[in-house]
Amino acid sequence: MTRVVIDCRRLLCPMPVIRVQDRAAAMRPGDELEAVCTDPGALNDIPAWCRINGHAVVEVRSAGGEHVVVLRVAGG
Amino acid sequence: MPDARRKAAALVSGGLDSMLAVRVIQDQGIRVEGLNFYTGFCVEGHTQAIRRQDQAKEKRNNALWVAEQLGIRLHIIDVVDAYKDVLLSPAHGYGANLNPCLDCKIFMVAKAREWIEAHDFDFLISGEVVGQRPMSQRKDTLPVVQAESGIGDLLLRPLSARRLPPTRPEREGWVDRERLHDFHGRSRKPQMALAAHYGIVDYAQPAGGCCFLTNEQYAVKLADLWRSRGERRYELDDIILLKIGRHIRPAPHYKVIVAREEGEGNFLHGYRKQYWSLRPLSHVGPYALIDGTPSPADVEWAAQIVARYSKGRDAPLVTVVAQDRDGAERELVVRPLAPAEIPAEWML
Ligand code: SF4
């Protein structure tokens, strides 16, 4: 399993979703992708994007004006 | 019988019409996936994300939300750079403001055509309704979109299809034309009735259009940006900043962007390495940026403007910290400008 962190700080929605989408497309099932964002909209948008694409959200946390969403890329 | 092996891509804006168009085609057993293009001018999210007073409200991306309601996948495609040519030199001109709607539609359909070719989809659908919008959805402009985008008769508009010549998906029986609609004109009643039929009660109602280019105030600020630079160009940061704060231009070579509340101030703070920035020190007041090439006297003048929006507006003097792009700070003690000293023409 690979874990990749992408920096989406200062990007406004939907750019963080686009970054996650494009990065996830190049990952393998079971890999984890962590997006570090400052737009609180990402807390809704990235999980919504995960739901419609079947990826699992494994962690969501916010601290110090930063919002982190970790997802596991769907299998097969 | 419609052909359930066929796959359609849909232009999904997040509004009701594209939502209904997808539903109508799904009803015929056809698999649909959504495409959403991000130009940088989309109304989605931005200002909501920035302004503190909105932070308690639930924020959602309407295109994603619509896709989830419909149970379809959605591909959001970044076209910020490619869109510049469309906006800067639209072959068909602008609408009421700086909205190049017809060229925009042609561009998006052309991009969608590339996508369906690359992903082996059969046809494209959109929520356009004949006669609904003055520029891009007239009966005479719909064929222009088809011809110039190269999509030809693979573009089906399920809400108005029965008012238009049959497209290939209809002629070949991939979809049943009889079960498509004949909506036209500006009335929203047929859409509302169809929404009720499908049990859709919650949907976004964008006023005027899907992007900021139709907004008069925004178009004024964008035109000002181009005029002041002596050339028509922009970066994503420029067009995002146009959505934030008060923009005050005392001279062609600089303008001051003053946060209207804390959320905007926090957001502008993220730009402090790219712009001069100002913040009142002796009094509570807004964070501000200076866009352009200000002289020391201009920075002082900008500080007087910022002081005018601080709690010290009635004080004889206000201390404002000015920071250059390298982070060097200096304190300026200035007299706040009176409202009458800021002419209306400066306010963009
Ligand atoms: S309103 Fe904006 S996004 Fe919509 S068609 Fe016109 S230019 Fe394009």
What's the mean pLDDT in B67-91? Answer: 95
Q: How confident is the model at residue B222 (pLDDT cuts 50, 70, 90)?
A: very high
How far away, in angstroms, is B207 Cα from ligand 1 center? Answer: 12
CATH homologous superfamily, domain B7-212: HUPs (3.40.50.620)
So what's the pLDDT on residue B189? 93
Cα separation, B225 vs B93, in Å, equals 19
So what's the pLDDT on residue B340? 93
So what's the pLDDT on residue B44? 62
Lowest mean pLDDT among B65-74, B80-89, B105-114, B211-220: B211-220
So what's the pLDDT on residue B253? 94
Cα separation, B336 vs B333, in Å, equals 10
Answer whether residue B110 shows pLDDT above 60: yes
Q: How confident is the model at residue B294 (pLDDT cuts 50, 70, 90)?
A: very high
- Mean pLDDT rounded to a whole number for chain B: 91
Q: How confident is the model at residue B330 (pLDDT cuts 50, 70, 90)?
A: very high
Ligand 1 neighbours, Cβ below 6 Å, are B 99-101, 104-105, 136, 209-211, 213-214
Question: What domains sit in chain A, N to C, each tagged with a CATH number?
Answer: 3-72 (3.30.110.40)
**B134-148 tens-digit pLDDT:** 767 777 888 999 999
Q: How confident is the model at residue B103 (pLDDT cuts 50, 70, 90)?
A: very high
So what's the pLDDT on residue A49? 96
Contact state of B78 with A18 under an 8 Å Cβ cutoff:
yes
- The tokens for B161 are 């299809």
Percent of chain B whose pLDDT exceeds 90: 77
Q: How confident is the model at residue B54 (pLDDT cuts 50, 70, 90)?
A: low
So what's the pLDDT on residue B263? 84
**A27-68 tens-digit pLDDT:** 999 999 999 998 888 999 999 999 999 999 999 999 988 999
Answer whether residue B47 shows pLDDT above 60: no
Answer whether residue B51 shows pLDDT above 90: no
3-state SS record for chain B? CCCCCCEEEEECCCEHHHHHHHHHHHCCCCEEEEEEEECCCECCCHHHHHCHHHCCCCCCCHHHHHHHHHCCCEEEEECHHHHHHHHHCCCCCCCCCCCCHHHHHHHHHHHHHHHHHHHCCCEEECCCCECCCCCCCCCCCHHHHHHHHCCHHHEECCCCHHHCCCCHHHHCCCCCHHHCCCCECCCCHHHHHHHHHCCCCCCECCCCCCEHHHCHHHHHHHHHHHHHHCCCCCCHHHHHHCCCCEEEEEECCEEEEECCCHHHHHHHHCCCCCCEEEEECCCCCCCEEEEECCCHHHHHHHHHHHHHCCCCCCCCCEEEEEECCCCCEEEEEECCCCHHHCCHHHEC
* Residues of A annotated as catalytic (active site), given as ranges: 13
- The tokens for B309 are 């929006």
So what's the pLDDT on residue B210? 72
Cα separation, B243 vs B267, in Å, equals 11
Surface-to-core class of residue B18, CB atoms within 10 Å of its CB (0-12 exposed, 13-18 middle, 19+ buried):
buried
Neighbours of B119 (CB within 10 A): 12
Q: What residue spans define the domains of chain B?
A: 7-212, 244-346
- The tokens for B66 are 């619509």
Burial B287-323 (b: 16+ CB within 10 A, else e): bbbbbbebeeebbebbbbbbbbbbebbeeeebbbebb
3-state secondary structure at position A9: coil
Percent of chain B whose pLDDT exceeds 70: 94
Pairing of strands A3-8, A32-37: parallel
So what's the pLDDT on residue B139? 78
**B149-165 tens-digit pLDDT:** 999 999 999 999 999 99
3-state secondary structure at position A50: helix
| pTM, to two decimals | 0.90
Q: How confident is the model at residue B204 (pLDDT cuts 50, 70, 90)?
A: confident
- More confident position, B329 or B132: B329
Pairing of strands B288-292, B254-258: antiparallel
Say if CB B145 and CB B136 are below 8 A apart: yes
Atom number, ligand 1, closest to the C-alpha of residue B99: 7
Work out the minimum CA distance from B61 to partner chain A, whole angstroms. 6
What's the mean pLDDT in B7-24? Answer: 95
What's the mean pLDDT in B239-257? Answer: 94
Answer whether residue B266 shows pLDDT above 90: no
Cα separation, A12 vs A49, in Å, equals 15
Contact state of A49 with B64 under an 8 Å Cβ cutoff:
yes
Answer whether residue B208 shows pLDDT above 60: no
So what's the pLDDT on residue B4? 78
Atom number, ligand 1, closest to the C-alpha of residue B214: 1
